[in-house]
Structure 1
Amino acid sequence: MSEVRIAVEPRTEFGKGAARRTRRAGKIPAVLYGHGSDPKHLSLPAVEFARAVRENGQNAVLTLDVAGSGSELALTKTITTHPIKNYIEHVDLLLVQRGEKVTVAVPVVVEGNAGPGTLVNQEVTEIEVEAEALHIPEQLEVSVEGAEVGAQIHASDIKLPAGVSLVTDQETLVVNITEAAAEMAEEPAAEAGEAAEESQEG
């Protein structure tokens, strides 16, 4: 997980009107909290923050250069987006320290092709792990290559990088391999039969 440096500014105005003005200026209202310190109200550059999340994932560790008060190391905790217009409305940031362990949700990516006649059901798309703030995995991969009907992958089956431990319940079902519905398999054959009949009639 790479570290991203972003210049931010303290916010002195609050409320919906102030938040709208902040967003119109191309910035995102944010709050930095943690380690028992008073919350700091900041504004993040919208384009730079969106790029950092896009390129490094939501668990990107940010070095915040706060105008007038040095730098802080932070982890993105919550991103609130507009339900319709899809722009970022607000961000909660968690203050972290180098070497500190944090609990985060990491995406699970399914790779490979299961055996013929199977259906791959991904039951959960992310699991929680504990990792050092600067060594959070961007994603965790599980392979279903050649898996047969009845195969299951639980959280405990996922291989974790060194220094990363599982927080999600070990028995959590992540991937379930089931039999492909018979109707789905029969449809192409039925369509082929209908096409053959039509050609004979023509």
Structure 2
Amino acid sequence: MLISGEVATAKAAASCNSLMVLSFSSNCRIEEVAASCDAIRFYQLYVFKKRAVSATLVRRAESSGFKAIVLTVDNPMLGRRERDIRNKMVAPDKPNLEGLISLENLDTTDGSQLAKYVRDTMDPSLSWKDVEWLKSITSLPILVKGILTAEDARKAVEAGAAGVIVSNHGGRQLDYAPATISV
């Protein structure tokens, strides 16, 4: 029996009595991961220019028994990933976005297909008001991921977040961003 990555991760989390954060760009559908086991699952969300896409993903996660939304705020614009540009990185299919966003016409003439995808679909104007908007469409707690300062942690909670996740996005966004553990 072949198990896809995120389903296997959810099963491993369940067997360790741990939680799992499912990426919005998972290779497995939200519902497939939810049906695979009884792991405690949170759903990672990016805010799309088309808010209806984000709202649909939140509703699907909520109806599939996810326990929180992890709003990623440290990636409103993609960092210059030179290796992806050089290799003309092709964005993999995103089953959770089927029928919501077209991933066609993402050529790699000028480099990374991922960079074009982010520019065309993600909302770079993300602000604290987006936490309020998210709270208005779900009853799930919202954790803000990508916080690197005490000031931003306070602002996130003031905006309505239930908590924060300290993260520098794996160090892939900005040179000289402090290490997560240092923060």
Taking structure 2 as the reference length, the TM-score comes to: 0.24
Which structure shows the higher helix fraction? 2
Report which structure shows greater RCO (CA 8 Å, sep ≥6): 2
Structure (1/2) with the larger strand percentage: 1
Which has the greater radius of gyration? 1
